[in-house]
């Protein structure tokens, strides 16, 4: 197991890609901290990990609030669980809105969860990783950050910011032994797509060279690789499992 005994914090791990990542890291031997705003789904993910013989702690966290993130890491300090791996996955899945119809509240909601949340968690994690001279941060961005998404300007801006943030922080901390990388998934088959009409789903799939949606488990496999020593010479990169949608 590639992450045996390491402590991994996964934000937004109550469902979808985040839950798949938490389960995969636990399967690789990590002790997983599920940081999820929805206490019920967060505990459900942690319970599933424990049922499969792993170790997991669920800590309710609102990544858009710096004080909530500070509380999360203070709790880890109390548990004597300094993070070896941080996966910034939490996101805002509200429907797309054209720019000219977007309110300040809509714009802020996307950026606060995605971009601010990634910053808050990264800051707290680095305060614990840098003195120990090791650690890996995996930021979940999106293929939308690479090619744009009509109707998703706020989402694209936030995810693009995460990709750039990843590169800057990677250069800051590389000499200290900490790696920072990003994963930019394409269209993934999660409950978020349930509201998309079947005809639109067919159109989306038709544009993907591999001819299908990705699975959360496929994204989780990439994250597990990047978090492991197998990816020890990778930092600052944005890896995009997207079925050929963007090359």
Catalytic residue among 120, 155, 233, 246: 155
Residues 166/141, Cβ–Cβ less than 8 Å: yes
Q: Does residue 233 have an active-site annotation?
A: no
CA distance 193 to 110: 18
CA distance 27 to 213: 24
**DSSP readout, the chain?**
-TTTT-EEEEETTTSHHHHHHHHHHHHTTPEEEEEESSHHHHHHHHHHHHHTT--EEEEE--TTSHHHHHHHHHHHHHTT---SEEEE-----PPP--GGG--HHHHHHHHIIIIIHHHHHHHHHHHHHGGGT-EEEEEE--THHHH--TT-HHHHHHHHHHHHHHHHHHHHHGGGTEEEEEE---SB-SGGGGGS-HHHHHHHHHTSTTSS-B-HHHHHHHHHHHHSGGGTT--S-EE--STTS--
- Active-site residues, by number, are 155
């Amino acid at each position: 197991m590639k992450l045996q005994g390491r402590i991994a914090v996964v934000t937004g791990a109550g469902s979808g890609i985040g839950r798949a990542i938490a389960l995969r890291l636990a399967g690789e031997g990590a002790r997983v901290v599920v940081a999820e705003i929805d206490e019920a789904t967060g505990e459900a993910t942690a319970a599933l990990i424990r049922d499969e013989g792993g170790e997991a702690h669920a800590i309710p966290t609102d990544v858009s609030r710096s004080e909530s993130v500070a509380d999360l890491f203070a709790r880890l300090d109390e548990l004597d669980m300094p993070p070896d791996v941080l996966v910034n996955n939490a996101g805002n899945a509200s429907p797309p809105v054209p720019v000219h119809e977007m309110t300040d509240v809509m714009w802020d909601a996307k950026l606060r969860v995605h971009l601010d949340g990634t910053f808050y968690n990264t800051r707290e994690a680095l305060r614990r990783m840098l003195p120990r001279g090791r650690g890996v941060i995996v930021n979940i961005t999106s293929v939308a950050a690479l090619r744009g998404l009509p109707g998703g300007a706020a989402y694209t801006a936030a995810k693009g910011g995460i990709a750039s943030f990843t590169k800057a922080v990677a250069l800051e901390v590389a000499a200290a032994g900490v790696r920072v990388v990003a994963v930019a998934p394409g269209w993934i088959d999660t409950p978020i797509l349930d509201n998309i009409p079947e005809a639109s789903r067919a159109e989306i799939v038709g544009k993907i060279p591999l001819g299908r949606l990705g699975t959360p488990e496929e994204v989780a496999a990439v994250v597990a690789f990047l978090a492991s020593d197998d990816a020890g010479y990778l930092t600052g990169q944005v890896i995009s499992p997207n079925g050929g949608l963007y090359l």
